[in-house]
Amino acid sequence: MLKSRLLAAMLLTTLCWTPGASAQNYPTKPVRLIVASGAGGGLDFIARLVGPRIGESLGQTIVVDNRAGASGSIAAELAARAAPDGYTLILLSASLVVYGAVNQTRYDLFRDLTAVSQVSAGPYVLTVNTGLPVRSVKELIAYAKASPSKLNYASTGNASLAHLATEWFRIATGIELVHIPYKGVGAALPDMLSGQLQMSLLSVASVFSHIRAERLRALAIASARRARIAPELPTMIEAGVPGYVVTQWHGVLAPRGTPSAIVEHLHREIVAAVRHPEIASRLALDGTEGIGSSPREFAAHLKSEHETWTKVIRQTGIRAR
């Protein structure tokens, strides 16, 4: 009888410490949010806009930990090795998927991390210098074909999302372009505004203030539907580039093995945060939209993005340097 009681007590203790049970009290301490970029960038902005709202709802502090380098790969490796207890998360962008499609990494995005939710997304926009005599995508293509290799464009680095996006546009339209890589949008903007660069495909958030001020001319938006921030702009698909959709998105992942109850809990808090009127309106100012997709939806999005950019890499022959 004594042995039976001991066995029953051991079984009860084991049941009490199952992941589902421990998730009921989550969180009991601050949550670390690794941000796959340095301070001051677009990803950091999202973290510091949405993070405090999530922390307030959870009743714990969201500690932002900026880990820049290798398009977020350093941050992803750190998150992949963290304990799967819900106290370490990573906020990443589309750039990390592109990096993983081009480079060998010491982690597997799909094996070592689990999707929680896509937080936000903003489309890319095709812009030209105001001195260029074109006012539509059709006119730009005609101009480029009449002046082969005389149009150059800015990217945020070799094999970056901006690089791949513009090379995809080049192949889809049959034009020739000269690639000029920069260390970020901030470094490229002076040359874009001065006219040394003729065109660019970059996130709407990074250039829209210059479009609004008519220092850059927008020709089309690379979204599936017209953007609320600029409904007069046609989509790239409407402008004659079939299937062309490019967004700079941001999303949260957790280490593989994080209890599903915690993942779902975090997903619900992200949805509530991005739907908060103050956050939604602040995102909209930069042409960014709160998403709050389910873990399954975000996982499917990650897979689709990886397939898209892997295909573009094969078509363009772009390689890491």
Domains of the chain, CATH where assigned: 30-121+247-316 (3.40.190.150), 123-221 (3.40.190.10)
Whether 14 shows a pLDDT value over 80: the answer reads no
- Rounded to an integer, the average pLDDT of 246-270 is 97
pLDDT of 32 > 50? The answer is yes
Instruction: Please determine, for residue 137, whether its predicted confidence score (pLDDT) is greater than 90.
Output: yes
In whole angstroms, give the CA distance from residue 209 to residue 181.
22
What is the C-alpha separation between 29 and 210, in angstroms, rounded?
A: 43
- Crossing angle of the two packed helices 277-285 and 42-58, in degrees rounded to 10: 180
What would the pLDDT profile of 73-115 be if each residue is shown by its tens digit?
A: 999 999 999 999 999 999 999 999 999 999 989 999 999 999 9
229 CB contacts (<8 Å, ≥6 apart)?
204, 208, 284, 286, 287
Phi first, then psi: give them for residue 267, nearest 5 degrees.
-60, -45
Q: Is the dihedral of CA 4, 9, 14, 15 positive or negative?
A: positive
Q: What pLDDT sits at residue 321?
A: 64
3-class DSSP state of 241? coil
- Report whether 206 contacts 125 (CB < 8 A): no
pLDDT score of 267: 98
Which of residues 40 and 262 earns the better pLDDT score?
262
| Average pLDDT rounded to a whole number, residues 260-274 | 97
Mean pLDDT of all residues in 25-43: 92
Model pLDDT, residue 4: 52
> Which of 15-19, 47-51, 296-300 shows the lowest per-residue confidence on average (mean pLDDT)?
15-19
pLDDT at position 164 over 50: yes
pLDDT tier for residue 5 given thresholds of 50, 70 and 90: low
Alpha-carbon span 134 to 220, nearest angstrom: 12
pTM for the whole structure: 0.87
**What's the confidence (pLDDT) of residue 22?**
57
- pLDDT computed for residue 18 by the predictor: 44
Supply the DSSP symbol for 234.
P
Lowest mean pLDDT among 10-19, 28-37, 190-199, 224-233: 10-19
Cα separation, 163 vs 165, whole angstroms: 6
Q: For all residues of the chain together, what is the average pLDDT?
A: 91
Look at residue 141 and give its three-state secondary structure.
Answer: helix
The pLDDT of residue 272 is 97
CB 113 within 8 A of CB 73: no
Binning pLDDT at 50, 70 and 90, where does residue 55 land? very high
Distance of CA 26 to the CA centre of its chain: 27
CA dist 89 to 74, 83, 252, 272, Å?
14, 10, 7, 18
Q: SS3 for 5?
A: helix
Amino acid identity for residue 172 in this structure: A
pLDDT (tens digit per residue) in 205-230: 899 999 999 999 999 999 999 998 89
Residue 217: φ, ψ to 5°: -110, 120
Query: Higher confidence at residue 58 or residue 6?
Result: 58
SS3 61: coil
- pLDDT at residue 17, rounded to an integer: 41
Q: Has residue 130 got a pLDDT over 90?
A: yes
On the question of pLDDT at 19 being above 50, the answer is no
> What are the start-end ranges of the E strands in the chain?
31-35, 62-66, 88-93, 113-129, 152-155, 178-181, 199-203, 216-221, 247-255, 289-290
Instruction: Provide mean pLDDT across the span 16-40.
Output: 78
Contact 137, 219 (CB under 8 A): yes
DSSP 291-317: ----HHHHHHHHHHHHHHHHHHHHHH-
Stronger pLDDT, 263 or 8, i.e. the higher one: 263
Rounded mean pLDDT, 182-199: 91
Looking at residue 213, its amino acid is A
Mean pLDDT, rounded, for 108-125: 96
